[in-house]
Amino acid sequence: MTTRSTKLPGVGTQYDISTRAGRRVSVVAHQDGRRFLAFYTPDDPDACQATVPLDPDEAGSLAKILEPGEAQTPGLGTCGLDIDLVTVRIPLTGHSPYSGEVLGETKARTRTGASIVAVLRRTGPVPSPTPDFRLETGDVLVAVGTKEGVDELTRIISGT
């Protein structure tokens, strides 16, 4: 296992971890306390599969869970909800009515309950895109929601 840190001026620090199995995971620690986890494909260690934004509380909870030797993590429990969430990738083709439009125009969460949590673009991933983020043909939207919600969002984005 190897680790490497890289200062990101004005942002924070990126920590790269290469596991013994050859997988690569990164954590970008922003100066304001936010964290982003990034996962990379084993066959192309530079291709980001997905990113997960974490606020300071979420990052702290994850750190407690990952700490070796912890049989039970104090303060963490079940919330009593049994919700099956799925993550999908939705390609944005030239046939989409949202190609060239801002993300907010999709009204994804309002219409489907699903959230667009990242946009994968050829130039790199964009975690937590804002409503004014302009979509382009070739983007891949990463959405999280119920199966029904992401299916409906896929239909809406594809324009079918």
| The pLDDT of residue 133 is above 90 | yes
- What's the pLDDT score for residue 87? 87
- Give the model's pLDDT for residue 97: 96
Least-confidence region, from 11-25, 37-51, 94-108: 37-51
Q: Hey, which of 13-22, 40-49, 86-95 has the most confident mean pLDDT? A: 86-95
Which residues share a beta bridge with 127? Answer: 118
**More reliable by pLDDT, 107 or 55:** 107
SS3 30: strand
Residue with tokens 């302009």: 134
Q: What is the pTM of this model?
A: 0.51
**Using only C-alpha atoms, what is the Rg of the chain?**
17
* pLDDT (0 to 100) of residue 82: 53
What integer is the mean pLDDT of 20-38? 82
Tell me, what amino acid is at 48?
C
Provide mean pLDDT across the span 89-99. 94
Across the beta sheet with 48-54, the strand order is: 2-8, 12-18, 24-30, 35-40, 48-54
